[in-house]
Amino acid sequence: KTEIDMDALHGEELLGAGWLVVPVKNPTDWTDGDADRLVAALGELRSTDFRRESDLGRFIAGDEPYLVR
């Protein structure tokens, strides 16, 4: 089992295997500042031009790309 420190990860950007993940603690576990921290992190993310696409065309017949965002 992997131990996860949600207090440390809450509202932090994590680049996964092709996708950006922003972990969010269970709201029933939030303490002072958690809501503000998440709002700030999402606001920062939305202010960037972050864009991630994946070509799923390799899974279908033909040479055409099939890009998903």
- Per-residue pLDDT 10s for the chain (69 aa) are 778 888 888 888 887 766 778 899 999 999 999 999 999 999 998 888 777 777 888 888 888 888 886
Within a domain: 1: no
What range does the domain containing 54 cover? 6-68
Within a domain: 48: yes
d(CA 63, CA 13): 34
Give CA separation, 22 vs 6, 57, 63, 65, in Å: 11, 27, 34, 28
Supply the pLDDT for residue 37.
94
Give the number of domains in the chain: 1
Supply the pLDDT for residue 18.
66
